[in-house]
Structures are given as C-alpha cells and as structure tokens.
Amino acid sequence: MIAVKESDNVTYFPSDEEKLSKLKEWGLVSSKAKEVKKFKYKGAYTDKELDCDVIGYIAKETNSKCLNKICETAVIKIGEETHKIDPAYLKQMQSKSFNTEISK
C-alpha cells in the first residue's frame, strides 16, 4: 500500500453526494446507485480482505501528450491509515475472482 503524504494535496469528499458522483465516474458503483457501498482491499500487502472507505482523491496534471489532462488517484482509509490506489485497481479488487498471487 502506498501511504498518503502531506504533500499529496488530497481532496476529501465534503458530502456523500459528491463521493457517490466520483465513484460513479470511476465505475466503482453503477450509474444508478443511490448510496455509497462498502469496499474491500485485497492487495498484496495483506493476507486477508480488509474493509476500506474511499474518502477522497488526488488529482494531478499529466504530460500534455497524455490522453487525459488530469490523473486521479483514489484515497482510501483502512482502519486508521490512509493510502493511495488507482480507482481501476480498487474496482478489480471488488471481484470475487480477484487474486493477488502470481501464476506460475
């Protein structure tokens, strides 16, 4: 997990409505969702599923040659710790078939 630093300039969600809007934008909930759901972290840094909450995001300008002018990283809270994660990777973790083990 990548810990959030003070210099990361995190935008925290001021309301559940704004949080839900961003989660829809990232595809973490359906476009018809009416409430925020619980998420699981199943990363390589733990041997079990952990509950996590998306509490904000970090937006950074990208290289002018990139497709997107802004890159967003989700900020999640696991217990008392905050971490950064790509929203697409967090979405993959929600799948029951998600596996962090490397195939041999």
Q: What is the pLDDT of residues 35-54, one digit of tens each?
A: 998 899 997 778 889 999 99
8 A C-beta contact, residue 49 and residue 41: yes
103 confidence band (pLDDT: 50, 70, 90): very low
Domain residues of the chain, as ranges? 2-93
State the Cα–Cα distance between residues 60 and 51, nearest whole angstrom. 26
Q: What is the pLDDT of residues 67-94, one digit of tens each?
A: 667 789 999 999 999 999 999 999 999 9
Give tens-digit pLDDT for 52-65.
999 999 998 777 77
